Amino acid sequence: MTYGSGEEGGPHLALDVQKIRGDFPILSTEMNGKPLVFLDSAASSQKPNSVIQTVRKYYEMENANIHRGVYFLSQKATEKYEFARIKVSRFIGAPCAKVVIFTRNTTESINLVAQSWGRTNVHEGDEIVLTELEHHSNLVPWQMLAQEKQAVLKFIPLNYDSTLDMTNLDQIITDRTKLVAVSQMSNVTGTVHDLAPIIRRARQVGAKVLVDGAQGVCHLPANVQKQDFDFYAFSAHKMLGPTGVGILYAKEEILESMPPWMGGGDMISKVWKEKSTYADLPARLEAGTPNIAGVIGFGAAIDYLEAIGMDAVRKHELELLSYALERMEDFGGLEMYGPKDLSVRGGVISFNFPGVHPHDVGSILDEEGIAIRVGHHCAQPFMDFMGISGTCRASLYLYNTKEDVDRLLEGLKKVKEIFGRVLKR
């Protein structure tokens, strides 16, 4: 499967987007009688045929529970499930497969760290450092842990362009800091954070670093060893895979020290009436029957992305993002959020139409077959910082085109026509 044109920039750098779009059956459908323009991949991406068919094949021809089964179907399902784990480890540059833990989503991955590593290592007076641009999934679990342990939450502040203000990093990350938890890329503004100085400072004081990669991993090449992440959490459904599959990577020595968070089947070594001993990694942190079909389908999603190349995905999104931002600036009157420097930005565009509620904008675009996300995007502290209640968000991915952007602008013209009359009254 090759989608690069082989033109300038080398193989896999120029995408044949029309060929890619042909792999996604939903993109040929309609919404409200109009051809679908899907601009909500930051919430959940669409799925290619290869992923859909892989999941369908599992249920039609390979359905069985994994591990311990001696019959053929169980062994086959186990083999495919564990091979998907190997694919994930290679995709993110992990040293081996056993440091990849499957969960239900990014939220559960972060909660696993908070409840297992956090409860063991965070004590009264210790500090947990976050930023003002975190998704609630990388905020609320730390609030809960801090309340339980009487720890202190501290925040790296924001500049008005939604980049992080690193001016006082040495005063924010101190000898009392046990963990720094930061998103790789904002789901609201698309800001791609410069994590290197944060990680460098954390190392100086002996703190661990958790990176919320829910947005970053689907847009940017990843190598957790070179980037020196202690924890890396992300979800399959934002990167062409099925829903219900999350991933937690952590350094092996950290995972070995973490007690199980949930007890049950598959995570034990020996069970007596009074006590139990636990299985080796990764099983010790994966209690119960997992989303087998989803994990196997995720393996197919990784195959698809690797055939394209994440460098090509990034290049395509930057070209599309540049086009979209220029068109929206020319449109005039929109309040835009996020950095202007595209080198520190991913394919997420948040904006507001002055005088028009985001829900009204989203409803009018829906009538035109255009799917965007509106609201606070699970980032209410950022909304408070900006003094707004929410935004409209259009998010781009590898299957989007300039024509999609043009349709968005046509939809915004309709918003302007409708509310221009209303606002003049």
Written as tens digits, the pLDDT of the chain (425 aa) is 433 333 333 344 578 999 999 999 999 999 999 999 999 999 999 999 999 999 999 999 999 999 988 999 999 999 999 999 999 999 999 999 999 999 999 999 999 999 999 999 999 999 999 999 999 999 999 999 999 999 999 999 999 999 999 999 999 999 999 999 999 999 999 999 999 999 999 999 999 999 999 999 999 999 999 999 999 999 999 999 999 999 999 999 999 999 999 999 999 999 999 999 999 999 999 999 999 999 999 999 999 999 999 999 999 999 999 999 999 999 999 999 999 999 999 999 999 999 999 999 999 999 999 999 999 999 999 999 999 999 999 999 999 999 999 999 999 999 999 998 544 44
Peptide bond before residue 282 is cis, with ω within 30 degrees of 0: yes
337: three-class secondary structure by DSSP: strand
Predicted pLDDT at 190: 97
Quote the CA–CA distance of 188 and 220 in Å, as a whole number. 17
The contacts of residue 181 (CB under 8 Å, 6+ apart) are: 110, 128, 129, 130, 134, 138, 142, 209, 210, 211, 212
pLDDT for the residue 2:
37
Distance CA 278, CA 220 (A): 36
Per-residue confidence (pLDDT) for residue 421, from 0 to 100: 55
Longest dimension (CA), the chain: 76
User: Is the torsion defined by CA of 31, 35, 39, 44 positive or negative?
Assistant: positive
Beta-carbon count within 10 A of 126 CB: 19
User: Which secondary-structure segment (H or E) carries 209?
Assistant: strand 208-212
Cβ contacts of residue 253 below 8 Å, gap of 6+?
Answer: none
SS (H, E, C) 338-366: CCCCHHHECCEEEEECCCCCHHHHHHHHH
* Residue corresponding to tokens 């540049």: 322
Measured between alpha carbons, how far is 49 from 41 in angstroms, rounded to an integer? 17
Residue type, 232: Y
CB-based contacts of 97, cutoff 8 Å, min separation 6: 82, 85, 86, 88, 89, 282
Task: Report CA Rg, the chain.
Answer: 22
Can you give the pLDDT at residue 420?
80
Q: Let me know if domain 52-306 sits in CATH 3.40.50.2300.
A: no
CATH topology of domain 17-44+310-417: Aspartate Aminotransferase, domain 1 (3.90.1150)
The CATH 3.90.1150.10 portion of the chain extends over: 17-44+310-417
Neighbour count for residue 381 (Cβ, 10 Å) = 17
Angle among Cα 138, 240, 99 to the nearest 5 degrees reads 55
Residues carrying CATH 3.40.640.10, the chain? 52-306
Q: Which residues does 243 contact at the CB level (< 8 Å), separation at least 6?
A: 44, 105, 236, 237, 294
Catalytic residue IDs: 378
CA distance 284 to 195: 30
